[in-house]
Amino acid sequence: MQLISREEIKPLLQQPKGNCVSIYMPIHPAGPEVRQDPIRFKNLIKEAEAYLIDAGLEAQEATALLQPAINLDNQEFWEQMGDLGLAIFISQEFFRYYSLPFNFQELVVVTDRFHIKPLLPILNGNGRFYILALSQQDVRFFEGTHYTINEVEVENLPKSLADALNQDETAKEGQFRIATSKGGTANSFVQPGAFHGQGSPDRDQHQEEIRQFFYIIDRALQEKLREETAPLVLAGVEYLLPLYKQANTYQHLMAEGITGNPEILSAQDLHDRAWPIVEADFQKSQQEFLERFHQLFGGDSGKATNDLKKIIPAAYFQRIDSLLVAVGQQQWGLFDPSSEAVYLHEDKETGDEDLLDLAATHTLLNGGTVYAVPPEQIPFSTPVAAIFRY
């Protein structure tokens, strides 16, 4: 069962309009409730079918659209379900399903785009991070969340010092020059990096090979992390970490790292040591949002609001810098981009969509930051709060 990643969410966000079915189902990995999961699954499929018919499809067309999900319902499928959640996404030309390592509410949504808000706790800044485990014999790269850790293959990432120097022609010649910025958000200035390998009078050759090694690693990660903002935690013996920071160009490298030999640490060990580091950073970022929101709220600038009728058009037209949205809640209604009118409904009506999800989706698509949090963490007991770019 595949765990969803940031790369996987992009096609969900960018799907063309049409009948898009999103199904979220909590799974029971043990206990008597396990036997009820296939029954609940069938009921969710029936609910999705009813929504599709309500949207104008014939019963036969609705069943055909849902057939890929219906085909999942077999003993082998249920035996492999070991996590706490199942997410299914279906449209006319798209079908994906994922295991989610956390719990959430049961939900079926059928609109002209996929419903992604329940995914936000593991996909956005308040849940995702990277680990780079460095040693001269073994380089590993991981993507983690609060709940998961997975090793990720990165194109051209060397597995060892020998591998790096053997495959890099510049390193073979004993000379490598590159302009780099020192690592982390605190030291983002650019400095020229220049060193000479064989024959350098003032540097130890082996240390210079390690530096070359780290420049090659950073170069491989540049493409992988080009548009990312998730924190990166280094793991390695203590003397290697400052050397790598000199080569690093990723702006979200954490100042604190995991010291010790990472070769003897499992993926789970690395996760357990990295999470407290990044959790503190996530909490700091969210706290900074709250402080800024309270400073701006009610002021003359109009740059902070919890009014959903103002937030929806702002999200749609790329005006939101950052958004705080409640998970586990929906606000059904309609939005007309031509008039910027927002219609809120107490209960779900035909054609409605979750406007909280719409705000989160368009904020992400337009390069904004979304914090998905429990409802009680949002100011003034509203389901959403936003800071505008202008």
Residue ranges of domains in the chain, CATH in brackets: 6-115 (3.30.960.10), 128-283 (3.30.420), 297-388 (3.30.1330.30)
- Quote the pLDDT of residue 184: 46
Which candidate, 150, 149, 5, 27, places its Cα nearest to that of 82? 27
Whether 382 has a pLDDT exceeding 70, the answer reads yes
Helix/strand/coil percent split, the chain, to 5:
40, 25, 35
Better-scored residue on pLDDT, 168 or 376 = 376
Q: What pLDDT does residue 194 have?
A: 39
pLDDT at 129: 92
Q: What does the angle CA 156 – CA 160 – CA 165 come to, to the nearest 5 degrees? A: 70
pLDDT band, residue 366 (cuts 50/70/90): confident
Q: Compute the mean pLDDT over every residue in the chain, rounded to the nearest whole number.
A: 86
pLDDT tens for 222-263 read 989 987 888 999 999 999 999 999 999 999 999 999 999 999
271 vs 288: CA distance, rounded Å: 25
Predicted confidence at residue 103, as pLDDT, reads 74
Q: Tell me: the pLDDT tens digits for 52-99?
A: 999 999 999 999 999 999 999 998 888 777 667 899 999 998 999 988
- Indicate if the alpha-carbon torsion angle 146, 151, 156, 160 is positive or negative: positive
At residue 6, does pLDDT exceed 70? no
Strand 128-133 and strand 320-326: the pairing is unpaired
* pLDDT at residue 331 is higher than 90: yes
Which pTM does this prediction carry? 0.71
Q: Measured between alpha carbons, how far is residue 80 from residues 43, 73, 75, 117, 230 in Å?
A: 20, 12, 9, 25, 30
- pLDDT for res 35: 76
Q: Is the pLDDT score of 28 beyond 80?
A: no
3-state secondary structure of 354: strand
Query: How confident is the model over 313-328, as a mean pLDDT?
Result: 94
Nearest to 358 by CA among 387, 380, 379, 336: 336
Q: Where are the alpha helices (DSSP H) in 225-369?
A: 240-247, 267-296, 308-316, 355-365
The pLDDT tens digits of the residues spanning 252-262 come to 999 999 999 99
Strands 332-336 and 341-344: antiparallel
Q: Please name which of 363, 388, 350, 385 lies closest in space to residue 116, comparing C-alpha atoms.
A: 363
pLDDT at 336: 96
pLDDT digits (tens, 9 = 90+) for 341-360: 999 999 999 889 999 999 99
Question: What are 142-177's pLDDT values in tens digits?
Answer: 998 887 888 999 999 999 998 888 865 544 554 444
